Amino acid sequence: MSAAQNQFDAHWMPFTANRDFKKKPRVIESASGHHYTTDDGRQLYDFFSGLWTSGAGHCHPKIVEAVQKQVAKLDYAITFQVGNSQSAELARRVVDLAPSGFTQCFFTNSGSESVDSALKIALGYHRARGEGHRTRFIGRERGYHGVNFGGMSVGGMVPNRKVFSANLMPGVDHMRATMDLTHTAFSRGQPEWGAHLAEDLERLCALHDGSNIAAVIVEPVAGSAGILPPPVGYLERLREICDKHGILLIFDEVITAFGRLGKSFAAEYFNVKPDIITTAKGLTNGVIPMGAVLVTERIYDAFMQGPDNMIELFHGYTYSGHPVAAAAGIASMDVYEQEGIFEQASELSGPFADLLHSFDDHPLVKDVRNCGLMGAIDLESRDGAPGARGTEMHKRCFWEADLMIRTGADTIAFSPFLNSNLKDWEQSFDKIRHLIDTIE
């Protein structure tokens, strides 16, 4: 047994094929800028910028310094009935960045917690307004909203739900996913086909009666399912239907918030305003776990009734508004602003699309999709072994090409840094082409 194998013996790894991984662990020791360093001393180009997290690059000196200073000054402070100035400042900064009308920021520690918090806020909002009968949620097939029971239930990733099928949250229904390769294959950006799929929501309103539905939750661009940009007009139509039936629209922007599409939020990019926005990941550039739920004034105000000394929302986490995480968040906002990170992402999205779509005519490629700095290449599956090529691509990228990518089934997904260098992309895509050319 190698030293590295021993190292992971006690570690049940998340979303990992544990037995296979432990035979030959892939280990990262350090990171700087756009690269990881492995335990065998190789520099890997990180084509996934963490896990959609680290848009401004790893170990950004300004964020590192802010965290170091803060941890030595206030390591933790109780956040129930007592505040700290770091979380207050971060809430202000995030709200200032958000689309107009969003006035409140509720802190969590992850995307999953942001989603479950948002669902609870939606229920509480309706109840506070005397519409406690609005208890149903509508999600979407192939949606990913984290792994807690609420998010898993409104989500539509079959493997994530399968084992827990009998225990999912009741009162949830799903719209269809927006991808159908017979109509959408090789679309550049938003597909022209598919806006009519928003009518699924009207159908579900007819079935359940719209007055029983609390909220609809979607990722503006589905990420974990393999990058599914919304069809032209689709999000606009969801907004219209929600308005017609008094339903809240939640955008799960855990991936898309903080510049992934070249704007602060996907809501701004698509010019469609939801009622609640969930975030995490880029909130601290991935440096310390933290999430946030943004709500409009109308939603917050609905809770602000009864005696002043009464807690309005019986919800929160020990680490909601953790001062060190908040310091990382403030420093991230500074970096985003001072270095024009979102603008860089916007300028890079054209060249990224060009490079990605240069795979359109490869015989082993089934589809290529992109939106902002999110991209995917679908490989044809090997006969009788779906997912095998994807797994092999991931391993070969790591061991042979010094590249970190992410694969799900036979889809290769890309989440490049928001301040990437074009040269790194060109070199990395050359390596990927070589691997695809030579894969069995």
Ligand X SMILES: Cc1ncc(COP(=O)(O)O)c(C=O)c1O
**Contact footprint for ligand X (CB under 6 A):** 110-112, 115, 144-146, 219, 223-224, 252, 254-255, 280
Q: Compare residues 374 and 403 and give the one whose CB is closer to ligand X.
A: 374
Q: How far is the CB of 151 from ligand X (least distance, A)?
A: 6
d(CA 376, CA 317): 35
Q: How far is the CB of 223 from ligand X (least distance, A)?
A: 5
**Which residues neighbour 69 within 8 Å (Cβ) at sequence distance 6 or greater?**
327
Q: Compare residues 200 and 219 and give the one whose CB is closer to ligand X.
A: 219
Q: How far is the CB of 147 from ligand X (least distance, A)?
A: 6
- By three-state DSSP, how is residue 172 classified? strand
d(CA 111, CA 116): 9
CB 7 within 8 A of CB 367: no
Q: Compare residues 99 and 210 and give the one whose CB is closer to ligand X.
A: 99
Name the residue whose CB lies closest to ligand X: 111
- The full DSSP string for 242-281 is HHHHT-EEEEE-TTTTTTTTSSS-HHHHHT---SEEEE-G
Cα dihedral 425, 408, 379, 254 in deg (nearest 10): -50
Q: How far is the CB of 280 from ligand X (least distance, A)?
A: 5
Handedness of CA 26, 22, 53, 401 (dihedral sign): positive
Q: How far is the CB of 111 from ligand X (least distance, A)?
A: 2
**Which residues neighbour 125 within 8 Å (Cβ) at sequence distance 6 or greater?**
248, 299, 302, 303
Q: How far is the CB of 254 from ligand X (least distance, A)?
A: 4
CB 366 within 8 A of CB 405: no
The 8-class DSSP code of residue 210 comes to: G
Q: Compare residues 110 and 411 and give the one whose CB is closer to ligand X.
A: 110
Q: How far is the CB of 68 from ligand X (least distance, A)?
A: 24
Cα dihedral 241, 243, 247, 251 in deg (nearest 10): 80
Closest CA to 276 of 429, 382, 409, 145: 145
Phi, psi of 213 (to 5 degrees): -100, 125
Q: Compare residues 224 and 359 and give the one whose CB is closer to ligand X.
A: 224
Q: Compare residues 223 and 229 and give the one whose CB is closer to ligand X.
A: 223
Q: Compare residues 224 and 320 and give the one whose CB is closer to ligand X.
A: 224
In degrees, to the nearest 5, what angle opens at C-alpha 110 toward C-alphas 332 and 397?
A: 80
Q: Compare residues 140 and 273 and give the one whose CB is closer to ligand X.
A: 140
Q: How far is the CB of 108 from ligand X (least distance, A)?
A: 9
- CB neighbours of residue 186 within 10 Å: 16
Q: How far is the CB of 251 from ligand X (least distance, A)?
A: 9
Q: Compare residues 128 and 324 and give the one whose CB is closer to ligand X.
A: 324
